[in-house]
Amino acid sequence: MRPEVAVIGLGRIGLPLAVSFADRGLRVLGIDKDAARLQAVRDAQMPFQEPGAQDALDRVHAAGTLAVSDRVADAAAADHIVITLGTPSFSHVEIDISDIRSALDDLLGHLRPGHTIVLRSTIAPGTTDFVAGYLEKHRGFHIGEDVFVAHAPERIAAGHFMEEIRTLPCIVGGVGPESGERVGSLFEVFGAPIVQTTAVQAELAKIWTNILRYANFALPNLLMMDCEQYGANVFDVIELINRDYPRGGIASPGLTAGTCLRKDFAFSEERSNAPGMLLAVSRVNESVPLFLVEGMKRRLGSLNGRKIAVLGLAFKGNTDDERDSLAHKLVRLLERELADVAVHDPRVATPTPPFAETVSGADAIVVAANHDEFLGGEPLHEIVALAGGDALVVDPWNCFGAAQIFAYVAELSAVTNGRVPLP
């Protein structure tokens, strides 16, 4: 089978994308260096949770439209080569494009006129022009005339891929005269509007989409910490800000992280005109685990030898993705206090004990990820029964609906209007 599209990097973005192309009838070659990942695709087994992706993979498997390989050079068999490799940031406030460089080096000798290279990964401003320049320098191509290069950033949120690939406007920033048109035609298969722009504007639009969210969540997180200082209730203040006010609203607090939000601001900081502004945003979000630990210490005293139950290891609710999760930082900080930490997460691949075992006899219970399993009265009811009225509940997401960051179980029972009986 000669592929029409090759997708390099079958991760959380690349695999659903490859499956989505193949599900639209295109012949797709998916490439990854991870043998287990390739075997999972051959076995038609999604290696991570993404709603709807398993059904699509089953269809694609039956249709035989998705093949896999561990050789990046094999991508050259397709006219369209889509790069979905990871782009972390160095601690030097700088994008790490080593995976993209390595893929380009593997491809260089195999590229021919007519090829289209699509950068789907999130990249620092200027990276698309760098890639175009790299191909020009090493192979003498005229980008936009014989070989085509564009940035078509992925803006879906994990857990919503299959619906958002059909609906979110697809931004395309091409280099040279024809690149944008070719990449736009490729992505038209998903039926979402195609929005043509320049490469650097596409890069800026993507990272600032994430920066906006990262900064948006830093504000309620900072307000949460300020409220503790003033003895105020952050949920009451948020309600006062937002109630019937027509000019936008403030978000709710939580543990704000994840592989995308956490690194993308660094791509902007590379050449920022206000150096430090987004680093401060990052510092606020990164401070939340320490704020929660200090809040527990203020109420319980030393955490040495106290049982602290952490609910949720994922970086946000309803995902199995633990990468760059602040729950891990919270656990590390608790361990540094010599607390006895017990963790439960019903969704992640990391094995954890059951909910009841985790909260049983706990001195404090912290909701670190707002999974649906933790919402409402039922889990709180179990906590009341198994941890007792003296246990401290720490619920920055307000999963239990009591609108208190820190509250003893007995108090919570009162504020939930008796829905949760006292032990």
Ligand X SMILES: NC(=O)c1ccc[n+]([C@@H]2O[C@H](COP(=O)([O-])OP(=O)(O)OC[C@H]3O[C@@H](n4cnc5c(N)ncnc54)[C@H](O)[C@@H]3O)[C@@H](O)[C@H]2O)c1
Binding site for ligand X (CB under 6 A): 8-14, 31-34, 37, 72, 84-87, 99, 102-103, 121-122, 154, 156, 158, 259-260
User: From the CB of 123, what's the least distance to ligand X, in Å?
Assistant: 7
- Whichever of 17 and 303 has its CB closer to ligand X, that residue is 17
- CB closer to ligand X, 172 vs 393: 172
Strand partners, 30: 7, 68
Q: How far is the CB of 404 from ligand X (least distance, A)?
A: 31
Residue 40 vs 303, nearer CB to ligand X: 40
* Residue 36 vs 62, nearer CB to ligand X: 36
> Cβ distance 38 to 15 under 8 Å?
no
Q: Give the relative orientation of helices 53-63 and 14-23 as an angle to the nearest 10 degrees.
A: 50
Q: Smaller CB distance to ligand X: residue 20 or 84?
A: 84
Nearest distance, CB of residue 372 and ligand X, angstroms = 19
Tokens 């399993």 correspond to 373
Q: Which residue is nearest to ligand X (CB)?
A: 11
Write down the least CB distance from residue 88 to ligand X, Å.
8
- Nearest-approach distance from CB 263 to ligand X, in angstroms: 7
In the set 260, 307, 316, 399, the catalytic residue is 260
Closest alpha carbon to 288 in 233, 231, 340, 217: 217
Residue found by looking up tokens 């094999």 in the block = 74
Which residue's CB is nearer to ligand X, number 136 or number 324?
Answer: 324
Choosing from 206, 263, 307, 329, which is the catalytic residue?
A: 206
Burial label, 31 (beta-carbon count in 10 A; 0-12, 13-18, 19+): buried
The three state secondary structure string of the chain is CCCCEEEECCCCCHHHHHHHHHHCCCCEEEECCCHHHHHHHHCCCCCCCCCCHHHHHHHHHHHCCEEEECCHHHHHHCCEEEECCCCCEECCCEECCHHHHHHHHHHHCCCCCCCEEEECCCCCCCHHHHHHHHHHHHHCCCECCCEEEEECCCCCCCCCHHHHHHHCCEEEEEECCCHHHHHHHHHHHHCCCEEEEEHHHHHHHHHHHHHHHHHHHHHHHHHHHHHHHHCCCHHHHHHHHHCCCCCCCCCCCCCCCCHHHHHHHHHHHCCCCCCCHHHHHHHHHHHHHHHHHHHHHHHHCCCCCCEEEEECCCCCCCCCCCCCCHHHHHHHHHHHCCCEEEEECCCCCCCCCCHHHHHCCCCEEEECCCCHHHCCHHHHHHHHHHHCCCCEEECCCCCCCCCCCEEEHHHHHHHCCCCCCCC
Which lies closer to ligand X via its Cβ, residue 27 or residue 120? 120
| Nearest CB to ligand X, comparing residues 163 and 335 | 163
CB of 37 to ligand X, least distance (A): 5
Q: How near is the Cβ of 31 to ligand X at its closest, in Å?
A: 6
Question: Quick check: is 260 catalytic?
Answer: yes
Between residues 6 and 409, which has the closer beta carbon with respect to ligand X? Answer: 6
The nearest distance, CB 18 to ligand X, in angstroms, is 11
- Tally Cβ neighbours within 10 Å of residue 109: 10
Residue 329: active-site member:
no
CA distance 104 to 102: 5
* Shortest Cβ 292–ligand X spacing (Å): 25
**Cα 194–195–198 angle (5° rounding)?**
130
Catalytic residues: 206, 260
